[in-house]
Amino acid sequence: MPQAEKLRDLLADNQLLVMPCCYDGLSAKMIEQAGFPLTFMSGFAVSSARLGLPDTGLISYGEMVDQGRNICAATSIPVIGDGDTGYGNPVNVRRTVQGYASAGFAAVMIEDQLAPKKCGHTKGKSVVGKDEAIQRIKAAVDARNEGSDILILARTDARHEHGLDTAIERAQLFAELGADILFVEAPHNEDEMRRVCEEVPGYKMANLVEGGATPILSHAQLQEIGFSIAAYPLTLLSASMRAMQSALEIMKQGNHPEQLLEFSDLREIVGFEDYYELEERYK
């Protein structure tokens, strides 16, 4: 089944989809092995892991789609790709949607930030005018309708600069244009999250950043409010960085870390046993 169709089926169940986000093939594979039904390639996490740089528009379309191709090849669950601003004008947006579909993504996120974009929970971000934002999403929807089998996740960051009313208005416009999933970034409290779900039609995504602007509610609360997807963009990156910091500090003190995976478990996770089975077939 095509990945886009898998994602449509998941959304049609009307149950909250808990979505840890990945940044490389290994993290995507581990998310699937843990039993989660989908994942998201986080731009923040990819920029951090691939370049060692902040999510401030420094990473390019080519680097993101290349990373995404490896991620999609490493897992069988649907992957949503962070397409940032579409990397240019509406024609670039079309190319981004087409490229992400070819790479194997089930959906691509296109946002209305002014380039260079910033992480949605950090300072300094601005959005383009309403007409330009509309043209971006129109171009993305056109690319989908004209042959790219991929869902469009339309994001607005207008809450930060213009308030929640403007953000909701933009999300409503994106829905009218035909976006499949709507995402109002960084509502500041539960009441704002409820307004988003009550006033924006269709499937909605919540973005839950530890220490960010949006409160981290329980899965039951998010389901009751009306969200379809709960994204955790930095949880795995933060956990892995914390573990590496701890191991490095222990080694710096002249000792060896004890909280490590068994070598047999490590081999199993990355796929040595599967490889050995294939190797036997061709002996």
Fold of 3-235: TIM Barrel (3.20.20)
First-to-final CA distance of the chain = 31
Confidence (pLDDT) at 1 = 86
Supply 245's token pair: 């910091």
Phi/psi of residue 140, nearest 5 degrees: -65, -45
Q: Distance between CA atoms of 184 and 196, rounded to whole angstroms? A: 7
Number of Cβ atoms within 10 Å of the Cβ of 76 = 13
- Domain edges within the chain: 3-235
What is the residue whose two structure tokens read 């005018």? 129
> What does each C-alpha distance from 12 to 45, 78, 174, 184, 193 come to in angstroms?
28, 14, 20, 20, 21
Supply 178's token pair: 């035909």
Confidence (pLDDT) at 117 = 83
**Average pLDDT per consecutive 10 residues, the chain (283 residues; last block may be shorter):** 96 97 98 98 97 94 98 98 96 98 98 84 84 98 96 96 96 98 97 98 97 96 98 98 97 96 95 94 92
pTM of the model: 0.95
Query: For the chain, how long is the longest CA-to-CA vector?
Result: 65
Q: Distance between CA atoms of 36 and 19, rounded to whole angstroms? A: 7
